[in-house]
Amino acid sequence: MGVAAVSLLTTSGLTRHFSGIHAVEGVDFTLEAGEIRALIGSNGAGKTTLVSMICGRIPPSAGEIHFDGRDITRWPAHRRIMAGMAYTFQISSIYAGLPVFENVALAARRKRRGRAAEAATQEALMRVGLWERADQPAGDLAYGHQRLLEIAMGLAQSPRLLILDEPTQGLSEGEIAAFKALIRELAPATTILLIEHNMSVVMELAERVTVMDMGRILAEGTPAEIRANRAVQAAYLGTG
Tell me the pLDDT of the chain averaged across its residues.
92
The mean-pLDDT minimum among 93-97, 138-142, 179-183 falls in: 93-97
Q: Above 90 in pLDDT, residue 91?
A: no
SS3 112: coil
Let me know the angle formed at the C-alpha of 52 by 186 and 74, rounded to the nearest 5 degrees. Answer: 105
Q: Is residue 68 part of a domain?
A: yes
Question: Do 39 and 24 belong together in one domain?
Answer: yes
List the helix and strand counts (H, then E) for the chain: 10, 10
The mean-pLDDT minimum among 82-96, 130-144, 176-190, 200-214 falls in: 82-96
The domain that contains 12 carries what CATH number?
A: 3.40.50.300
Question: Do 12 and 75 belong together in one domain?
Answer: yes
Which amino acid, 47? K
Task: Kindly report the pTM of this predicted structure.
Answer: 0.92
Q: Residue 204: which domain range?
A: 1-83+160-166+191-240
For residues 124-151, average pLDDT: 95
In tens, the pLDDT along 21-49 reads: 999 999 999 999 999 999 999 989 999 99
Q: Is residue 39 part of a domain?
A: yes
Which of 115, 137, 158 finishes a domain? 158
Domain count, the chain: 2
Residue 240's pLDDT is what?
Answer: 46
Q: Is residue 46 part of a domain?
A: yes
Question: Do 78 and 196 belong together in one domain?
Answer: yes
Alpha-carbon Rg for the chain, nearest whole angstrom, is: 18
